[in-house]
Amino acid sequence: MNGRHSGREVFEYALLRVVPRVERGEQINAGVVVYCRAQSFVAARTHLDEARLLALDPDADVAGVRAALAAVENVCGGGERAGQAAGDDPGRRFRWLVAPRSTVVQPGPVHTGLTADAEAETERLLDLLVR
């Protein structure tokens, strides 16, 4: 099986979660990272609901969270803005971004699906799961 089904390709995605106080475990969804090997595609789209973040932690570092989310988008985009990951292929960048970590911005579990358009899927997931 080559991953093709009715013109659709297998893709993987993970939510980006903001956990302002790790010890409490409370979180909000703030983005999605999508990878489709067949389309050589990796991208992240983010949306931070500042009011929800501040409801969980009135002292949250909003600027720091925004910078961390922007860094994820930059790594996905590759090139100079990706820093050390600049030369990595899309799959390596995705795997690095979805590796578990205990920081304020954390990836959720990786899920899979089928899509004909990974870029459109990224926007669809952002609207469905984050906004």
Place of tokens 């459109």: 120
| The predicted structure's pLDDT at residue 1 | 46
Asked if 18 and 26 count as a contact pair (C-beta separation under 8 A), the reply is no
Confidence band of 115 (pLDDT split at 50, 70, 90): very high
pLDDT in tens, 84-94: 777 888 998 89
pLDDT in tens, 9-34: 999 999 999 999 888 889 999 999 99
Q: In whole angstroms, give the CA distance from residue 38 to residue 10.
A: 8
| The predicted structure's pLDDT at residue 5 | 56
| The predicted structure's pLDDT at residue 84 | 79
Domains in the chain: boundaries = 20-130
pTM for the model stands at 0.88
Q: Is the pLDDT of residue 4 over 60?
A: no
The two three-digit tokens of residue 10, written as one number? 């297998």
| The predicted structure's pLDDT at residue 2 | 52
